[in-house]
């Protein structure tokens, strides 16, 4: 019964995203966002997690405020432009983009995102970091025409995502600040082309899915708990490190490929300052991913006193192995194909 209601709400959540993305009017996009919101909140509440209620309330209040701003700004734009849905670079357009950025959790409107992430289960964290970004990101891709606002959001997202995760010890908060950093890359990718954004988002989703799949059976929350992955769990240890480094964008892993494409095209578009800022702040995110990997490689204990050791041994599947293998060989294969054709 529990799986059935989750399946129903998951279907409704994806339907709301598709309605929002495929709508011809801003009112239809707002309706899709609301369906998406009302479908995700019941999935957030869990009996075994006392923090889920607080997280769902924070998420609802933030999203409801952003939805109100979105509906108000789009209504005023339609009135002022004689019912034409084209977005102009005016105050209402900035207000509408701000509401979408709040829904997205982009800096400097990010304060709710790490707090909500900390109170969710790993599977809900995966949904919040991936599926819930699709509709606001595509609407931003359609509507954000203000260069100053775009540059400000990209730089602030990169800086906050890089600096915010350095002194964190909770894995979910580290992934949330990393997600904020990736939002800056995604907005940059959306400025270049939709195909670049799709490549970046697909690789990010694939890598995040493997990490959350590996973390779910053990229910890890702290960096210190990574030390329990001993030599007897070499495969799990290796896959987590591969996908962390791929998420950080370290060559020769697949996560470097979309960043390579974005940097190259931004330099060709003479956006050197923004590209340089993005590279430097991404090195900060790579620092705390390397710190986690060093913790797993060097500090290992033989006894596990915080969870059942039986869960650690079988928390990986063929899918996670295949995706981890793609993370290692994907960049080499993609570079070869691009040069070959």
Tokens of 236: 């799990």
Contact 163, 288 (CB under 8 A): no
pLDDT of residue 201: 94
Q: Rounded to an integer, what distance in angstroms lies between the CA atom of residue 215 and that of residue 278?
A: 28
Provide mean pLDDT across the span 311-319: 52
Provide mean pLDDT across the span 62-85: 79
Residue 316: pLDDT band by 50, 70, 90 thresholds?
low
- What letter does residue 167 receive in the DSSP assignment? T
Summarised one tens digit per residue, pLDDT across range 144-174 is 878 888 899 999 999 999 898 888 888 899 9
Better-predicted residue by pLDDT, 317 or 242: 242
Point out the least confidently predicted range of 36-40, 186-190, 230-234: 230-234
Q: Rounded to an integer, what distance in angstroms lies between the CA atom of residue 29 and that of residue 31?
A: 5
pLDDT of residue 107: 84
Point out the least confidently predicted range of 10-14, 119-123, 311-315: 311-315
| Among candidate residues 280, 285, 97, the one with its CA nearest the CA of residue 180 | 285
pTM (whole model) above 0.85:
yes
Phi/psi at 306 (5° precision): -120, -15
Q: Report whether pLDDT(310) > 50.
A: no
Q: Report whether pLDDT(340) > 60.
A: no
Better-predicted residue by pLDDT, 321 or 152: 152
For residue 170, list its beta bridge partners. Answer: 222
Tokens of 328: 């290692």
pLDDT of residue 317: 63
Tokens of 196: 């670049």
Angle at which helix 234-248 crosses helix 318-340, to 10 degrees, equals 40
Summarised one tens digit per residue, pLDDT across range 177-190 is 999 999 999 999 98
pLDDT of residue 208: 92
Q: Give me the count of residues in the chain.
A: 341
Q: Report whether pLDDT(86) > 90.
A: no
Provide mean pLDDT across the span 225-234: 63
Task: Write the CA distances from 137 to 4, 165, 271, integer angstroms.
Answer: 29, 23, 21
Asked whether the bond before 108 is cis by omega within 30 degrees of 0, the reply is yes
* Percent composition of the chain: helix, strand, coil (DSSP 3-state, to 5): 80, 0, 20
Q: Report whether pLDDT(47) > 80.
A: no
Average pLDDT, the chain: 82
CB atoms within 10 A of CB 145: 14
Tokens of 49: 């997690």
- Residue 289's Cβ-side half-sphere holds a number of Cα atoms within 13 Å equal to 24
Residue 2: pLDDT band by 50, 70, 90 thresholds?
low
pLDDT of residue 314: 47
Q: Report whether pLDDT(305) > 60.
A: no
Summarised one tens digit per residue, pLDDT across range 236-268 is 778 888 888 889 888 888 889 899 999 999 999
Q: How many domains does the chain divide into?
A: 1
Summarised one tens digit per residue, pLDDT across range 13-35 is 999 999 999 998 889 999 999 99
pLDDT of residue 303: 45
Tokens of 118: 């900390």
- Give the distance, in angstroms, between the CA of residue 138 and the centroid of all CA atoms in the same chain: 14
Beta strands in 120-163 (DSSP E): none
Contact 151, 238 (CB under 8 A): no
Q: Report whether pLDDT(88) > 60.
A: no
Determine the 3-state secondary structure of 172 from DSSP: helix
Q: By residue range, what is the domain housing residue 24?
A: 2-340
């Amino acid at each position: 019964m529990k799986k059935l209601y989750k399946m129903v709400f998951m279907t409704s959540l994806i339907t709301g995203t598709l309605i929002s993305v495929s709508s011809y009017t801003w009112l239809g996009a707002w309706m899709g966002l609301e369906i998406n919101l009302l479908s995700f909140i019941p999935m957030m509440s869990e009996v075994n997690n006392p923090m889920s209620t607080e997280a769902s309330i924070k998420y609802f209040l933030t999203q409801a405020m952003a939805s109100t701003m979105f509906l108000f700004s789009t209504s005023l734009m339609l009135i002022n432009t004689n019912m034409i849905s084209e977005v102009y670079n005016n105050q209402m357009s900035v207000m509408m983009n701000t509401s979408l950025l709040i829904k997205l959790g982009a800096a400097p409107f990010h304060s709710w995102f790490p707090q909500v992430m900390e109170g969710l289960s790993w599977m809900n964290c995966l949904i919040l970091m991936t599926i819930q970004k699709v509709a606001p990101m595509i609407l931003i891709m359609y509507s954000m025409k203000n260069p100053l606002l775009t540059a400000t959001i990209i730089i602030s997202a990169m800086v906050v995502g890089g600096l915010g995760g350095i002194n964190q010890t909770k894995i979910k908060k580290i992934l949330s600040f990393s997600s904020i950093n990736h939002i800056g890359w995604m907005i940059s990718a959306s400025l270049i082309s939709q195909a670049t954004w799709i490549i970046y988002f697909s690789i990010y989703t694939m890598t995040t899915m493997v990490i959350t799949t590996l973390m779910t059976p053990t229910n890890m929350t702290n960096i210190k708990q990574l030390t329990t992955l001993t030599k007897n769990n070499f495969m799990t240890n290796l896959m987590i490190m591969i996908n962390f480094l791929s998420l950080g964008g370290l060559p020769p892993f697949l996560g470097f490929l979309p960043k390579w494409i974005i940097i190259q095209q931004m330099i060709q578009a003479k956006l050197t300052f923004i590209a340089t800022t993005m590279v430097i702040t991404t090195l900060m995110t790579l620092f705390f991913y390397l710190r986690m990997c060093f913790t797993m490689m060097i500090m290992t204990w033989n006894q596990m006193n915080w969870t059942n050791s039986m869960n650690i041994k079988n928390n990986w599947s063929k899918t996670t192995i295949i995706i981890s293998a793609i993370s290692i060989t994907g960049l080499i294969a993609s570079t070869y194909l691009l040069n070959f054709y």
